[in-house]
Structures are given as structure tokens and as C-alpha cells.
């Protein structure tokens, strides 16, 4: 036992000594040492088991330890781990073909990257190359990555370290009915209001200057904001009217997370570019990419594509993606996401009705969030800004102590378990959430 404790202490010590940990002041860190993961669970060095109710960073869709994917990685490593992007290689060709087969039928080709941020970086460049325009519109409530271009694309505060930013990036207010300054009776009213704002902004920016409108098909890290009825078609119509490229960031929402291959499918709208990453390989090997329409693919038949990466279409990532796509199909994970998502939605609605601290719940498939408030009538958020009392950290720590792992964005708790989760596992995990929300109710009661 002492050897195990000493080993865990060394791992933590080395981590703090040699790693820069993301999104954190380093001196305050106390990282948990993880030694095992299987299915929907992971274990720390003390042997405590955790429900992974966020799929880590909403990417472990198929869970941990999938034998088919692991074997595919081994096979590709032995066969050929790397070959430059200028060569035609089976793993790269197969992965691209399989992705195009599940994409909307207007899509033509894939440009592979290593992450979602890189996918968005290259989508920005492609949109500018195709249109000859420079401006890029994206929502204030968005996260598209933290590389320099993707950070400028991002709307929320994680863009601040990259400012003053790149010229041409313009933000608009994307729909958020719960926090809107106007009360709406229907989703259609929400859409009309926000589309009116967007139309005006396009006119003031000059539609002839706008290369692309970027959106997360469903806003992810900023609170699972599901577009109201008619919004996506409205944006599509505006793009068609003005010759603007419509880009859907599906890095988080793609590959079965919402019960469809891509979340945009829920609205029967076809974008010009789809960016992806997380669910394509579910964390087993890094991979991302931009799927472009047949029209854009044809443009680059005669025009130089100013995009390239050493690891573009890395064979290990491509082999992993091919196997992962097979797993989705063989284990019927899209349908399971839909069906289990219905159960999750029912649980969330019951929590909203029961708990004074739950102002709103939002869910689609296994992509969901709980928005915490001090007062349901006024909708005052449980925390503001930097959370000076560290209330959200306390809530997360209590969840962790109960064996429930997830993360938050300000006053919003994220819930996005692996798509392989069973109904029994889901209900057991959500009993923990119910118990912890009792604690939050007590906080707001004083």
C-alpha cells in the first residue's frame, strides 16, 4: 500500500513540476492521479471510482477500453505509423470516405487536422480563399479553440489573451432564450428576434465583405444552447442571399452526441463546411478535420489550397477514426444516444421541478446542461464572473466526493456521458446529482 501511495505522490509531484496545466493558475493546482479507466468509469490512485459524466472533454463517446479501436491502433502502428500527407494511403483514404458517407449529402471532401482548433483555423482560411472576402462572423456565446485564429473566432472570455486580435473577426449575439432581454412565447419569436439582429449586423458590416458565418451547431461549453426552430434555416438563407460560407462547428456536437451523426441534421440544413474532432476518434488518438461541400472541393480543383500540416491525415488517427465509426454503427450508438437522452431529459425536468436552484435545463441526445440560479423568478445566476466565493468549485468537489465527474461553465453544470451508458448507470449517477442539488438549495435558502 505504501508503495502505491509513494508512486501516486511521485506522479502528482512530477506533473506539478514539469507540466503546465491548461486554464489554471499553477500554484493552486492539486491534480487527481488517475490509474485506470474502463467503460464509463475511471479510478484514482486510491481506488475510488468515478462516473465520467462529461466524457472527459465531451470526447469519450465510446467510453474507455474499446477493444476494436485499440486493435486498429496496434495494427496501424505495426503496418505503417506515418506517411506524409502527399501520399495516398489506405488508412487516410478509408477514413475520409467513411466520413463523407455519414456527412450531409452535399459534402465532398475532408481536410484532416489534429484537433478542433486546427480544423476551425483551416476552415477560416478556406472560406476566405473561396470568397475573396475577409470578415468572419461568429457568436459571442461560443468556443472554437484557443490557437490564435480559433481564439479570435471564439466569442467568450477565453479569447481575451489573443486580443488585440486579427482584423476581420466580428461577433454577433446568438440565440439564448433563457437569458434574452426579451420575453418570448415561442421558439419562432426567439428566432425572429435574433435573426433580425443578425440581418442588421450583416448590412452594417457589408455583406460583400463577409466570408463566413461560424456557429457551433449547438453551443457546447457555453451552456448547451440549442437553436430555436427556424434559426439554422434562417442563417442558411442569409448565407445564400449574400454568398457567405456557412460553417458549422461540430467538434463537440458531432458523431452521435445528439443522436445524429451531426447536430445540424436535426434541422435538415446543409452547411458549406463542417469542422469536427472529438467524437471522430473519442480521444484514443488525436484527429480533427474540415468537411467541405462538393462546390468548395471543386473550387480547389483549379485554385491553390493554402493549407497544410505535417500530420495532416496522420495514419494512426485515420485508422482510429475508421474503427470508431464502425463502433458507432455496430453498437447502435446513435439510437442509444436518442433513447437514453429521452430518459436523461425526463430526469432533468424532474430535477428542475424539484430544486429551487435549477433555473433551466437543456438537453438533446446525451448533450445537456443544468443552469443554476439564486432565484427562479428573477433568473439571477447562482454565481457571477469570477465566482468570488468559489461556490461552483464547492459544488464540483462535492460531486467528485460522491464519485461523479463533470465540469462547469460559470453557473452551468455540463452533462454529457459516454454514449454507451446504460439506463441503470445513468439513473445511479443522476441520483448523486439530485443529492448534491439538495445542498445547493440549502445554499440559496441561506
Contacts with 120 (C-beta within 8 Å, 6 or more apart), sequence order = 144, 145, 149, 150, 153, 214, 247, 249, 251, 275, 290
C-alpha 112/C-alpha 288 separation (Å) is: 6
Q: Buried b vs exposed e over 337-348: b needs ≥16 C-beta within 10 Å?
A: bbebbeebbebb
- Do 239 and 337 touch, CB atoms closer than 8 A? no
C-alpha 209/C-alpha 357 separation (Å) is: 45
DSSP state string for 237-298: HHHHHHTPEEEEE-TTTTTTTTSSSSGGGGGT---SEEEE-HHHHTTSS--EEEEEEHHHHH
pLDDT value of residue 97: 98
Tally of residues, the chain: 446
Helix (H, G, I), strand (E, B) or coil at 210: strand
Q: Which residues of the chain have pLDDT under 70?
A: 1-3, 388
Bridge partners, residue 363, by sequence:
368
pLDDT value of residue 386: 75
Give the domains, in start order, of the chain with CATH numbers. 32-62+332-445 (3.90.1150.10), 67-330 (3.40.640.10)
Helix (H, G, I), strand (E, B) or coil at 358: strand
Where is 340: in which H helix or E strand?
helix 333-354
DSSP state of 219: B
C-alpha 153/C-alpha 171 separation (Å) is: 8
pLDDT value of residue 446: 75
DSSP state string for 384-424: -TT-TT-HHHHHHHHHHHTTEE--EETTEEEE---TT--HH
C-alpha 123/C-alpha 101 separation (Å) is: 20
Per the structure block, which three cell numbers stand in for 199?
440581418
Bridge partners, residue 113, by sequence:
288
Per the structure block, which three cell numbers stand in for 114?
489534429
Peptide bond into 164 cis (omega under 30): yes
pLDDT value of residue 387: 77
Helix %, strand %, coil % of the chain (to 5): 45, 20, 35
Q: Using one digit for the tens of pLDDT, what is the confidence trace for 90-104?
A: 999 999 999 999 999
C-alpha 166/C-alpha 144 separation (Å) is: 15
pTM for the full model?
Answer: 0.96
Amino acid at each position: 500500500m505504501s508503495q502505491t501511495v509513494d508512486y501516486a505522490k511521485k506522479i502528482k509531484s512530477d506533473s506539478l513540476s514539469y507540466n503546465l496545466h491548461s486554464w489554471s493558475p499553477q500554484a493552486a493546482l492539486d491534480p487527481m492521479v488517475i490509474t485506470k479507466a474502463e467503460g464509463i468509469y475511471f479510478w484514482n490512485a486510491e481506488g475510488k471510482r468515478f462516473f465520467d459524466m462529461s466524457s472527459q472533454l465531451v470526447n469519450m463517446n465510446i467510453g474507455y477500453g474499446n477493444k476494436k479501436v485499440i486493435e486498429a491502433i496496434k495494427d496501424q502502428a505495426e503496418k505503417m505509423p506515418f506517411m506524409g500527407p502527399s501520399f495516398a494511403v489506405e488508412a487516410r483514404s478509408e477514413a475520409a470516405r467513411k466520413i463523407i458517407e455519414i456527412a450531409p449529402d452535399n459534402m465532398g471532401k475532408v481536410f484532416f487536422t489534429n484537433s478542433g482548433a486546427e480544423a476551425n483555423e483551416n476552415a477560416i482560411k478556406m472560406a476566405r480563399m473561396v470568397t475573396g472576402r475577409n470578415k468572419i462572423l461568429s457568436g459571442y456565446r461560443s468556443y472554437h479553440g484557443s490557437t490564435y485564429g480559433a481564439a479570435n473566432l471564439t466569442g467568450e472570455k477565453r479569447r481575451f489573451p489573443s486580443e488585440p486580435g486579427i482584423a476581420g473577426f466580428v461577433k454577433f449575439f446568438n440565440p439564448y432564450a433563457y437569458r434574452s432581454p426579451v420575453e418570448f412565447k415561442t421558439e419562432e419569436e426567439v428566432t425572429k428576434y435574433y435573426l433580425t439582429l443578425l440581418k442588421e449586423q450583416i448590412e452594417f458590416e457589408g455583406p460583400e465583405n463577409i466570408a463566413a458565418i461560424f456557429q457551433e451547431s449547438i453551443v457546447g461549453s457555453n451552456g448547451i444552447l440549442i437553436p430555436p426552430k427556424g434559426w439554422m434555416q434562417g442563417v442558411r438563407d442569409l448565407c445564400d442571399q449574400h454568398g457567405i460560407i456557412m460553417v458549422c462547428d461540430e467538434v463537440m456536437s458531432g458523431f452521435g452526441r445528439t443522436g445524429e451523426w451531426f447536430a445540424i441534421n436535426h434541422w435538415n440544413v446543409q452547411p458549406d463546411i463542417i469542422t469536427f474532432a472529438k467524437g471522430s476518434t473519442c480521444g484514443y488518438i488525436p484527429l480533427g478535420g474540415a468537411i467541405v461541400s462538393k462546390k468548395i472541393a471543386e473550387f480547389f480543383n483549379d485554385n491553390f489550397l493554402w493549407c497544410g500540416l505535417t500530420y495532416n491525415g496522420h495514419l494512426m488517427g485515420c485508422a482510429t477514426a475508421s474503427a470508431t465509426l464502425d463502433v458507432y454503427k455496430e453498437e447502435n450508438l446513435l439510437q442509444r444516444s436518442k433513447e437514453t437522452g429521452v430518459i436523461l431529459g425526463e430526469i432533468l425536468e424532474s430535477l428542475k421541478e424539484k430544486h429551487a436552484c435549477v433555473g433551466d435545463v437543456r438537453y438533446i441526445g446525451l448533450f445537456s446542461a443544468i443552469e443554476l440560479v439564486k432565484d427562479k423568478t428573477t433568473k439571477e445566476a447562482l454565481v457571477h464572473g469570477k465566482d468570488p466565493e468559489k461556490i461552483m468549485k464547492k459544488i464540483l468537489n462535492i460531486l467528485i466526493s460522491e464519485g461523479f465527474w463533470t465540469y462547469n461553465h460559470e453557473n452551468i453544470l455540463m452533462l454529457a456521458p459516454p454514449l454507451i451508458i446504460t439506463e441503470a448507470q445513468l439513473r445511479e449517477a443522476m441520483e448523486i446529482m439530485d443529492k448534491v442539488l439538495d445542498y445547493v438549495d440549502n445554499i440559496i435558502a441561506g
